[in-house]
Structure formats: structure tokens, C-alpha cells
Amino acid sequence: MTLYLFLSINMKHILLIFILFSSAALASDPQHKAHNTHKAHSYVGFHGMALILAGDKVLASHMPLYAPPHNYQVVYEVTTNDTHLKIIKKALNEAPNKQTQITILPTKFDLNLLINKLTPTLNTTVFNGHFERGGTALFSTKLTFKNPLYVKKIAITQPEKEEFDLIKVSAEQGVVIHKIQSKPSYDSLSLVALTNRKYNGQLKCDAPLTTALTSKLKACFKSAPSYLETRDFAVN
């Protein structure tokens, strides 16, 4: 009986030491640390977006950055009440001639709502111009993120050539989006025509980051980019 008790107590001590050792080893493991760091990132914040008009649909494109909580390229079809939607479409139609852009700033929210392709309705301010670069607030509205079209986390890679994806908005309308990579890079959206949801062009463009970028994208995709951002992805 005494021997049994002795062995039982010692086994408990050995098990406890093993658990403590394993926990310490796991905590020092780089992959474990990375996993915990990733989980700690909050995607709650102010997420500004650019609006473009694709056919009769208004699209909102999240203005990404390299670091969380903004490191996702996200494009949604959005809608609001008829009065405000009409004003937004008119402003977007006039924007190219006025050399301006229409941007929005929803109230503070969790970008995971869009990353997970949900359809929230958010209180949103609409701006004539870039909301962080002197844009003018036009009005506020309840904007519904109606239809997720594109969600991709920014991959910090250095590819041999520029890469693009095709967003199919409708059977006749597509949008070519540039995949943001390591600095220097850029964010762009170019409207393209589709035939029965098929794009007859090529999803490639030798368009390095130069002063002629807009012209090169226009030559590749037959229209000037509806949205182009370079400053946020430049080498500091």
C-alpha cells in the first residue's frame, strides 16, 4: 500500500513537470507566437472606401494599407435610399470630368463583417474628394453592403510581374483589380466589358509604377482606371 501511494504521488509530480515543460516549449515556439499575434489583431476601426460606378451598380472599394486592420482588398456592391443613391450616381458620373473622386467613411466598425462576406448596413458619410485629403462631406446616409464581390488579404510578395484579378459585376460588366504587393505598389480598378460573363482581353499589363501608370493601364484595359492610389503604397 505504501509503495502504491509512493508511486502514485511520484507519477503526479512527473506529469505536472511534463505539462509545465510542454507549455513553456509551446510558448517559445515562433509559430505559436505568430498565431497568437494574428488572433490579437483587431479589425475594428475607421475603414475609408472609394466609390466607383460599374454600369448601374455602385461599388465600394476598401482603401487598404499594409498593416492590420486595413490589410485587405475588399470590393462590395452597395446601396442606399433612392434619393441618396441618385445623388451618388450623379456625382460618380461627373467625377472624371471634374478630376475628383467620391469616397465614403462609415462609422467605426469591424472589417471582419466584410471579410466574412456579411451584408451590414452602416451609418456612412459621403465625401466629394478623398476623405483624408481635403475632401468635402456631402451628406450622411445608411449604406447597405449588398453584395460581396472581392475579398483578398494583401500578400507582401515581390512577384516577377504585376498581377490582376477579374471581378464579375454582371454578365456585361467587369472590373480589373490590381493585386497589391510589396512596396512600391498601387491599388487600381479598371472597368472592362464582358460577353456572357467572359472577358476577351488579357489579365496582364506591363505597368510598373511610373508617372505614366494611368496611360499604361488605359492602354491595357481600354479605359482609364476608375480608381488609382499610389501614395499609400510608395516607398517612404
Q: Which three cell numbers stand for residue 61?
A: 472599394
Domain assignment present for 190: yes
In the chain, what is the greatest distance between 2 CA atoms, to the nearest angstrom?
94
Give residue 23's pLDDT: 42
Q: What share of the chain is helix, strand, coil (3-state, %, to 5)?
A: 30, 35, 35
Q: Is there a domain that residue 96 lies in?
A: yes
18 assigned to some structural domain: no
Please report whether residue 200 resides in a domain: yes
Q: Residue 15 and residue 23: Cα distance in Å, rounded? A: 12
CA dihedral 137, 143, 149, 153 (to 10 degrees): 60
Domain count, the chain: 1
CA 225 to CA 221: how far, in whole Å?
A: 8
Is 12 within a domain?
no
Per-residue pLDDT of the chain (236 residues; tens, 9 = 90+): 454 444 444 555 544 444 444 444 433 333 333 333 233 357 999 999 999 999 999 999 999 999 999 999 999 999 999 999 999 999 999 999 888 999 999 999 999 999 999 999 999 999 999 999 999 999 999 999 999 999 999 988 777 788 999 999 999 999 999 999 999 999 999 999 999 999 999 999 987 677 689 999 999 999 999 999 999 998 87
Domain contains 11: no
pLDDT at 155: 86
pLDDT at 89: 98
Domain around 144: 44-233
The reply to whether 55 falls in a domain is yes
pLDDT for residue 13: 54
Q: Is residue 3 part of a domain?
A: no
CB 136 within 8 A of CB 125: no
Cβ contacts of 106 within 8 Å, gap of 6 or more: 46, 47, 49, 122, 123, 124, 125, 143
